[in-house]
Amino acid sequence: MSTAAGDVEEMAVRDVINQTLGEEMERDDRVYIQGIDVSGRGGTSNILKGLDDRFGTDRVRNTPISEVSMVGSGLGAAATGMRPVVEVMYCGFLGVAGDQLLNQVAKMRYMFGGELDLPMVIRTKNVMGANAAAQHSQALHHWLAAIPGLKVVCTSTPADTKGLLKAAVRSDDPVIVFEHGGVYNRKAEVPTEDYVYEIGEAAIERPGDDVTVVATQNQLWNALEAADRLSAEGISVEVVNPRTISPLDTETIVESARKTGRCVVVDDTPLSYGTQSQLSATISEGAFWDLDLPVKRLGVDNVPIPFSPTLEDEVIPGTDDVVDAILDLA
């Protein structure tokens, strides 16, 4: 990883995505975008606005409403000299392309003997808290991480969005980039220079001594806020951003757990078979001798996400829930 020294700029996550993809398309003319309404509307949440004008509709290419073909043809293009960035508007639509993800994208290199580069990015977004109901409100990075052969990253902050998206576009492997609708408008400083994060490296977003919180995306922001609040009460919280969901940076995460001896893992995936279970297992086994208390999993209860605000609020953890979980351990 080469984090930046030097100039920084305050930017929203949404603008970072647009800028980063623009830079990568300038840099390499094999990079192109395909998906629903990526031209005109600028794709999901209008993130790509203007890229069609800059690069033309050949490279910012509207597909029909055909997720199988969108993902599958991206794979074929990647295998033959292009570097597609496929947008799947909501992660809930990934299921339509289930076979492409499970059997083609994930397995093609390996099955063919390991030598075929497949430089392909699939961008999609997790959505929670938008009253979008069960099909549109989902977080599914655990679901793709459960498929060996896929690299899966979660972007959370403006800075990691840039570093991870560049890494994904430049990788010769398929990388699934999960964005999150709830952080698109979050702003923070981003180094202006060109930098690429290592896929597979977690980051300590905020160092601390008493409790470790491992958190992604929206929950990372909640965790940082919780840490702020609790520091006033004299509790020092270390916040870890896994960045990559698969492969997971076990070392960094376990090391933090061993230091604090107390861990909360919080994520928007379901409590059973979600990211939290993988984190809890990893930490429980790896920091076994240093844990003072059981790892605490926080996430979405095992229900589809309900529509009504009172119900949705109930099932998705908020900052208060993170605070409470930390207090339970501290």
Ligand X SMILES: Cc1ncc(C[n+]2csc(CCOP(=O)(O)OP(=O)(O)O)c2C)c(N)n1
């980039």: which residue's tokens? Answer: 177
Tell me the number of residues near another protein by CB under 8 A. 79
Q: Restricting to residues 161-180, which ones interact with another protein according to CB under 8 A?
A: 171-173
Select the span of 127-135, 205-213, 215-223, 224-232 touching another protein (CB under 8 A): 127-135
50 binding partner (options another protein, a second copy, ligand X, none; Cβ < 5 to 8 Å by kind): none
Token pair 């930046």: residue: 4
Q: Is 145 in the site for a second copy (CB under 8 A)?
A: yes
30-59 footprint of ligand X as x/- string (CB under 6 A): ------x-----------------------
| Distance from chain centroid for Cα 112 | 28
Sequence-distant (≥ 6) Cβ neighbours of residue 202 within 8 angstroms: 240, 241, 242, 243, 244, 248, 249, 252, 253
Which of positions 124-143 make contact with a second copy (CB under 8 A)? Answer: 133-135, 142-143
Whether 136 sits among the annotated catalytic residues: the reply is yes
For position 103 contacting another protein by CB under 8 A, the verdict is yes
**C-alpha count within 13 angstroms, C-beta hemisphere, residue 75:** 20
274 counts as binding a second copy under rule CB under 8 A: yes
**Residue at token pair 């309404």:** 37
- Asked if 162 contacts 20 with a C-beta cutoff of 8 angstroms, the reply is yes
Q: Which of 4, 8, 12, 132 binds another protein (CB under 8 A)?
A: 132
Interacting stretch for a second copy, rule CB under 8 A, among 185-193, 197-205, 226-234, 302-310? Answer: 302-310
Window contacting another protein (CB under 8 A); options: 6-14, 106-114, 155-163, 219-227: 106-114
**130 binds, options ligand X, another protein, a second copy, none, Cβ within 5 to 8 A by partner type:** another protein
CA angle (267 as vertex; 182, 15 as ends), nearest 5: 30
**Interface of this chain with another protein, residues 81 to 100, rule: CB under 8 A:** 81-82, 84, 92-93, 96, 99-100
CA 194 remoteness from chain centre: 20
Nearest CA-CA partner of 68 in 98, 48, 25, 46: 98
> Among 229, 219, 214, which residue's Cα sits nearest to residue 259?
214
Binding site for ligand X (CB under 6 A): 36, 65, 67, 89, 93, 96
Enzyme catalytic residues: 136
